[in-house]
Structure 1
Amino acid sequence: MKQEKKWVFYIGLAMVAAFWGMNFGVSRKGMETFDPVLFSFLRFAIAIPFFFLILKLKEGRIGLPLNMVPRFMLLGFFGVTVLEIMVLYSIKYTTLANASLLNVAPWPIFAALFGPFFLRERITSRLVTGGIASMVGVCFIILGGGAGLDMSSDNMLGNLLAFVVSIMGSLYNLACMPLMKRFSPLYVSTWYTAFGVLFMFPFTLPSWGKVDWLALGNNEYTAVLFNVFVCTVIGFIVWNASMLRIGATRANFFRYLVPAFAAGAGYLFFDEAFSGWQLAGTVCMAAGLVWISLERPEPTPVSA
């Protein structure tokens, strides 16, 4: 891949990370009205018709081979239903700082460790040094906020859930990669999301009657639509396409941008403080990601 073209996909990863970071604030507003699981279900359920419409217009087919149904069902169940519910309950049972740190920071590390078992991705010295710098930076961003890190026994369940999310999430990303070499990223995103919504629906049944649907206002509609179109439809397609081009290991380090944008959104829209430690962490993380992005592919040896 040409170096100048590769930058398009790095920019795509950064853009999606910005959307997901800002979504912390948007979702906070939305979940003042909706139960967290119902809010997550609405996000994916409303997005599904648009996924299929885009898939039909772009590729001309939407059918799923019968022999691939079990594989996509597993991806949807673990990657959407289980993972999203675990994220929500990790936030519920621990502090936001703990959930962010234990969810975001280990994720790329596990992706790098498990990557050779799924893919032919080599761990280079540049990737290691850039990854360490990015991880240190994201720790400064999260721990530099007012909440800090609280490892008391009251938070152990949430801490454990957040840490398991990072393991499951990395394995889920890696499991998608072979499928995206056989099918398109759009095709894979559409079908695993569809199955994830199907499995998530039963968990929402107690929540529908708790919402005053006639009283919904601009804030609730904005939160839902931002989640549907920006964070899910655009986010999933761009992230998976970019991850396919530059590799799962490098792409997952760009998740470290999510807490930085979340802190920035809190500062801009919720009057939350942005400390010097968080600024230093942002600079350190950005330097690590740029260092990873500048790595040139090794030249292919020419046979005699």
Structure 2
Amino acid sequence: MERKWIYYLGLALVAAIWGANFGVARLAMDTFDPILFVFLRFGLALPFFFLILKLKEGSVGIPLRTALQLAAIGLVGVTALEIAVMYSIKYTTLANSSLLNVAPWPIFAAFFAPLFMKEGISSRLVVGGAAAMIGVCFIILGGGQGFNVSVDNMVGNLLAFGVSIIGALFNVALMPLMKRYSALRVTAWFILFGVVFLFPMTLGSWGKVAWSSLNVGHYSAIAYNVLFCTVFAFVVWNACMFKVGAARANFFRYVVPASAVIAGYLLFDERITGWQLTGAVFMAAGLIWISLERKRTVIAAA
């Protein structure tokens, strides 16, 4: 009998790694331009992906038609998505950005999933997802910033909401390709194309970095982003998402803000409120409820 709990555990672990990266990346942004830092993260990860792919599967190639599909996915899922995340944070409050980036994402994933895969949406998923969403709202808004609907934040709010749409579409678009190829092969190639599209946007940033003054903290931040947030996280997330389905997997993104709150407490002495603790309980209960579903309802689209 398949141990689905391992896949849910993998999703939660990856989301925790991504959430902790909010604190790590915040430290790095004092030195690196955001787009350059994203390029370093994915660009330095590329050799690892292709080396592991070659060692594990014996080849790295893909057909031209698949390459074109993955080029589009890389443009959307790496280049556009990462830039949208950055500028949503720049043009609105952190609370607004976090809530609009994270909360609607699983809903859109469930909405888009039938376009790519035949995924059943059970009552357990609806109930567990609703509890997890309530929890993540408490975690984000319970930090004290609140949700700001002023006109000044409108551009950032729209970008943040767009991240949920783009990200969900990106996730479910991977599913049919992972039916034909391994998650590792698909991931390596869409990241390659994403890096190619990112590179021209970094040309004005390289000379602004005082490379000779980089210290252990900077190199540690880069290593964490490359090895954990990208190589490990993308392979594990995509493999686990394929096993449990895009709709179910994406609700585990709600672990991201909880992990970010913990990182803020450990790295920046930020306060954790009672509302956030209550939200963590709701979120954990919802995700556990989803993960206890016995029957797998993911079937490849014809």
Say yes or no: TM over 0.5: yes
**Alpha-carbon RMSD:** 1.0
The answer for the alignment partner of 1:82 in structure 2 is 80
* Contact 2:10/2:236, CA 8 A, preserved across alignment: yes
Q: Residue by residue, what CA displacement relative to the aligned partner does 1:151-172 show, whole Å, maximum 9, x if unpaired?
A: 1111110110000010010011
The answer for the alignment partner of 1:165 in structure 2 is 163
The answer for the alignment partner of 1:144 in structure 2 is 142
CA distance in 1, matches of 2:94, 2:226: 23
Q: Which runs of 4+ in 1 moved over 3 A?
A: none
Give aligned-pair identity as a percent.
64
- The AA in structure 2 aligned to 1:182 is R
Aligned residues: 297
The answer for the alignment partner of 1:302 in structure 2 is none
The answer for the alignment partner of 2:57 in structure 1 is 59
Q: Secondary structure at the match of 2:75?
A: helix
The answer for the alignment partner of 2:102 in structure 1 is 104
Say yes or no: does 1:235 pair with 2:233. Answer: yes
The answer for the alignment partner of 2:261 in structure 1 is 263
The answer for the alignment partner of 2:122 in structure 1 is 124
Q: Of the candidates 221, 224, 232, which is equivalent to residue 222 of structure 2?
A: 224
What TM-score do the two structures reach when normalised by structure 1? 0.96
Deviation at 1:68, TM superposition (A): 1.5
Q: Secondary structure at the match of 1:120?
A: strand
* Contact 2:244/2:296, CA 8 A, preserved across alignment: no
Deviation at 1:61, TM superposition (A): 0.5
Q: Of the candidates 226, 250, 253, which is equivalent to residue 252 of structure 1?
A: 250
Q: Residue by residue, what CA displacement relative to the aligned partner does 1:220-270 show, whole Å, maximum 9, x if unpaired?
A: 111111000000000000000000111111000000000000001111221
What TM-score do the two structures reach when normalised by structure 2? 0.97
- The AA in structure 1 aligned to 2:115 is F
CA distance in 2, matches of 1:8, 1:150: 38
Q: Residue by residue, what CA displacement relative to the aligned partner does 1:141-194 show, whole Å, maximum 9, x if unpaired?
A: 000002221111111101100000100100110000000010000000000000
CA distance in 1, matches of 2:296, 2:44: 43
- The AA in structure 1 aligned to 2:245 is G
CA distance in 1, matches of 2:65, 2:134: 43
Gaps of 5+ in 2: 298-302
CA distance in 1, matches of 2:50, 2:183: 13
Deviation at 1:67, TM superposition (A): 2.0
Q: Residue by residue, what CA displacement relative to the aligned partner does 1:53-101 show, whole Å, maximum 9, x if unpaired?
A: 0000010010121121211110111110011011011011111111110
CA distance in 2, matches of 1:260, 1:244: 24
Deviation at 1:298, TM superposition (A): 6.5
